[in-house]
Amino acid sequence: MSASSSQPASAPLSPKRSDVQTGVLGTWRNPGIWLILLAIVVVGVWPVVTQRAATREVIFTVLLSVVLASSLNIILGYTGYVSFGHIVFFGLGGYVGMYLLSAQQASLWVAIPVGGLAAALLAFLLGKAILRLRGAYFALATIGVNEAMRTFINNFEPFGGPTGISLNLKIYQEYGGAAQALWLTYYLLVVFALGAIILSFMVKTSKFGLGLVAIREDEDAAEVMGVITPNAKTWAYVLSAILPGMVGVLFYFKNGNVEPGDAFRLHFSIELLVMVMLGGFGTVLGPVIGAAGYQRLRGFLLTSPLFKDIQLAVAGVLLLVIILFIPAGAVGWLRNRFPVLRRVLP
C-alpha cells in the first residue's frame, strides 16, 4: 500500500508544508538531530555505568528496534512503499554472518560488513523486480519474498537446513569470552543505532530524499518533474537493507545460533510497521519514539497474565487506531499541534 494513496491532508509529510517551509531540510544546524543522537548516547551509556546485565538486555532490544524501524522508514516513510517483509534482510544478514563465523572461521569484523552487503545485494535484485509494483501488490509481494526466503533457507544444507547454524563456544574466546562478547555486541549496536539515525537524516535532508518524498506524494508527477523513480526506489530499498543485514549478524552472534523460523518472523515485520507508524513515518525522530514506546508496551504485555498471549492482536489494534486517529504518528501530531516544533523535530 503506497502511503501516498491514503495520506490525509493534515499529515505533516508534504515537503511543501513541513520540510521546506520550516527549514528542516536545511543542514546539521537543526538542534533536533543532535538531541536525538545525544539521547541515544545517554541511553546507551547507562548500562555501562550501572553494569547491570538486565538493563543492558532491555536497552539492547530497544536499540535493535530503533535500527530496524529507522531503516524501514527509508522505504516506507520517505518513499511510501509499505514492506511487510523487511525482516528478510535481518535474517539473511544473520545467516550469512553466522555461516562465515562457523564454517569459514571468519572474524566478526568480516562477517558484519559481508552480512550487510548480502542484504543490500538482495534488496537491489528485489528492487529491480518488485518495486515496479505499487500499493497492495508491492505489500503482498514482500510477504511472498519473506516466505520464499524462509523456505529456501529451511532447505539449504550449507546453512544447516531446518536446524540452522550454531556457534562453538570457542569462537567467543577471540573476543574475551562469552560474557565480554555480550558487551561487545552491545557497544556495536549503540554505534549502529547512531548510524541508523544519521543515515535517515542524511537521506531526508538530501536532494535524493526530496525525490523520494516526491515519489511518495505522487509518483507519476515525480516522473514528470525529472525523478528517475525506478532507480530512486531501488537505491532507497538498498539503503534500508544494509543496516538490518549488519545488525542481524550482531544479534545472532550474541545468541549463538540462528534458525529459519526465528530469522524470518513475519510478525516482527508487522511490529516494525507499528513502530514506524506510532512515532511518525517520514520523520527521523518518529521511528525512535515508536521503537522505544512499542518495546515498552510489548514488555508490559508479555509480563501481563491477561495480555501475554494476545500481544500481536494488541499490536494490530494499535496500528488500526493509529491509521484512523493519528495517521501522522506522535511526531506528526506534535508538529501539527505546535507548529514551532517543526523546526526542531526532524
257: three-class secondary structure by DSSP? strand
Please check the confidence at residue 169 and state whether its pLDDT lies above 60.
yes
Flag the least confident range among 2-11, 267-276, 328-337: 2-11
| pLDDT the model gives residue 148 | 94
pLDDT tens figures, 210-244: 999 999 998 989 988 888 989 999 999 999 999 99
What pLDDT shows up at residue 14? 43
Dump pLDDT digits (tens) for 95-110.
999 999 999 989 999 9
Are 284 and 200 spatial neighbours (Cβ–Cβ below 8 Å)? yes
Residue 161 neighbours by CB under 8 Å, 6+ apart: 154, 155
Q: Could you tell me if 242 and 266 are in contact, meaning their C-beta atoms sit under 8 angstroms apart?
A: no
Q: Determine the average pLDDT of the residues in 108-133.
A: 95
Report the C-alpha gap between 211 and 192 in whole angstroms: 26
Query: Which candidate, 193, 213, 346, 209, places its Cα nearest to that of 284?
Result: 346
Sign of CA dihedral 325, 328, 331, 337: negative
Give 284's pLDDT tier (boundaries 50, 70, 90): very high
| Mean pLDDT, rounded, for 43-71 | 93
pLDDT of residue 20: 42
Greater model confidence, 14 or 208? 208
In angstroms, the CA 14 to CA 338 distance is 17
Mean pLDDT along residues 325-329: 83
Q: If you average pLDDT over every residue of the chain, what do you get?
A: 87
CATH code for 3-343?
A: 1.10.3470
- The predicted-structure confidence for 12-37, as pLDDT tens digits, reads as follows 444 444 444 444 444 777 888 999 99
Per-residue pLDDT at 11 exceeds 70? no
pLDDT score for 126 = 93
pLDDT at 191: 97
Q: Give ∠ CA 110-204-83 in degrees, rounded to 5.
A: 70
